[in-house]
Chain A
Amino acid sequence: MKNLPTLSFIIFIAFTLVFIIASIIFTIIIPLNTTLTSELGIVVSSIIKGITSLSLVFIWILIMQKIISNYLEKRFRSIH
């Protein structure tokens, strides 16, 4: 259980980032009104909103990947 505090902190960072990303998606991106009023326009704006939201999720993955890689490197370096 030696690594539990550090891993709990990583979980907390992941949680905070999900929270921030969800706040951006649900308070800014989704409610955003566009001037496109036709049916096709609504579909296009939905796709753009979807892609933007997915990009934010991808950013979350990249940040977590970096944090996890750094953690692993530090743990391995500490045994040498």
Chain B
Amino acid sequence: MYENIGIILISFIVTYLASKILITFLKNTKREVLDYHKKGKNYVAYPGGPAIIVGIIFSLAILYITTSDTRIIAILGVTVIAGTIGLIDDLKSLGGRKKPLFLLLAALPIILLGSYEPTMDFLFFGSSQLTIIYPFLILIAIPVTANTLNTIDVLNGVSTGFIIIAAIPVLIALIVKGDMNAALTTMVLITSCIAFFIFHRYPSKVFPGDSGTLALGAMYGAIVIIGGVELIGVFALLPAILNSFAYLSSMKDFVEHKNIKIRPTKVLADGTIMAEKDKRAPITLVRLIVAGNPSKELSVVNTIFMLSIVSSILATTITLIMWLG
């Protein structure tokens, strides 16, 4: 019990301290990017992802030493590979098409270590055996969850705040299932995100970059696969999944945000965000929120969090129905 609290505290403290040190380093070395949604020219430290990855590596290593559960090594492998791909993309852009392909590599630790059960439980309908298809689903799922979180990371604090809310139903589902090691790993994800969120929340002092969002998205995907709570994970992630699919189906290609010709939103001089009316502009969650309702950045961020809470409540309801059933 005390060990577990210790691991959770370590993930918070290490991520918090690593973020503080990294922000100072990034500011001193002028590694900053423009925050588009602020009045005037406001530069923010970037990328802060390595601080999250360090916090997660530290805590998961200790968790593995205390539990000897190889599934933790698989989750650690997924997070580190996805984070490294993100870091390469932060330093030298990989391009919209290459990134999902490279992210296939991040799924390999789960498959190679055999850290999955090829079955899916679905409410009172029982469980389905997916021996042949399941490894392919893992190969798709990790790049999808990583890219999904990456696509929603457009405003201050959204990616880390969103993953904190979306991980709660997963944590409840794992506790209900009695998988305490996977639940502890989810707690590590949540506490690392809370520690980073202190600096990432509006107004941001640091942006996680692709290294942060890809690592967190991939870790979330790995936890739901390894913990066998795939559907709960999908339900909790719905607003981000909708954002991703709306973006992809309107662009019809993997295009990086920075390479979009017509941006989905416009920022007015006073910092108000307005939806672009041009039909060629990509459809994103932010564009849907500000359509006919120009809003300030903080209001849009809070709306995204509210939508995340709605989907998390729905996911938790399913967990409770499964538990009672």
Residues of A in contact with B (beta carbons under 8 Å apart): 1-4, 7-8, 10-12, 14-15, 18-19, 22-23, 26-27, 30-31, 42-43, 46, 49-50, 61, 64-65, 68-69, 71-72, 75-76, 78-79
Q: Which residues of B contact A3 (CB under 8 A)?
A: 288-293, 303
Given contacts A26-B122, A61-B245, A68-B283, contact A15 B235 (CB under 8 A): yes
CB distance from A76 to the nearest CB of B (A): 6
- Find out whether the CB atom of A68 lies under 8 angstroms from the CB atom of B242: yes
Beyond A8-B310, A75-B275, 19 additional contacts (C-beta under 8 Å) are A1-B302, A4-B303, A7-B307, A11-B314, A14-B238, A18-B238, A19-B318, A22-B122, A22-B231, A30-B128, A50-B136, A61-B249, A64-B242, A65-B245, A65-B246, A72-B287, A75-B291, A76-B292, A79-B292
- Find out whether the CB atom of A72 lies under 8 angstroms from the CB atom of B291: yes
Q: Which residues of A contact B109 (CB under 8 A)?
A: none
B233-255 vs A, Cβ < 8 Å mask (1 yes, 0 no) = 01100110110011001000000
Within 8 A of A (CB), among B97-151: 120, 122-123, 125, 128-130, 132-133, 136
Q: Which residues of B contact A65 (CB under 8 A)?
A: 245-246, 249
Q: Which residues of B contact A42 (CB under 8 A)?
A: 132
CB distance from B147 to the nearest CB of A (A): 15
- B311 near A: Cβ within 8 Å? yes
Q: Which residues of A contact B283 (CB under 8 A)?
A: 68-69, 72
- B299 near A: Cβ within 8 Å? yes
**Who on chain B is nearest to A42 by CB?**
B132
B179-198 vs A, Cβ < 8 Å mask (1 yes, 0 no) = 00000000000000000000
Q: Which residues of B contact A4 (CB under 8 A)?
A: 303, 306-307
- Find out whether the CB atom of A7 lies under 8 angstroms from the CB atom of B303: yes
- B277 near A: Cβ within 8 Å? yes
Q: Which residues of B contact A12 (CB under 8 A)?
A: 310, 314
How far, in whole Å, are A69 and B288 apart by their CA atoms in the complex? Answer: 10
- Find out whether the CB atom of B128 lies under 8 angstroms from the CB atom of A7: no
- Find out whether the CB atom of A11 lies under 8 angstroms from the CB atom of B122: no
How far, in whole Å, are A15 and B169 apart by their CA atoms in the complex? Answer: 14
How far, in whole Å, are A72 and B299 apart by their CA atoms in the complex? Answer: 19
- Find out whether the CB atom of B242 lies under 8 angstroms from the CB atom of A14: yes
16 contacting pairs across A/B (C-beta < 8 A) = A1-B303, A3-B290, A3-B291, A4-B303, A7-B289, A8-B307, A11-B310, A11-B311, A14-B242, A15-B238, A26-B122, A30-B129, A46-B132, A64-B242, A65-B246, A78-B292
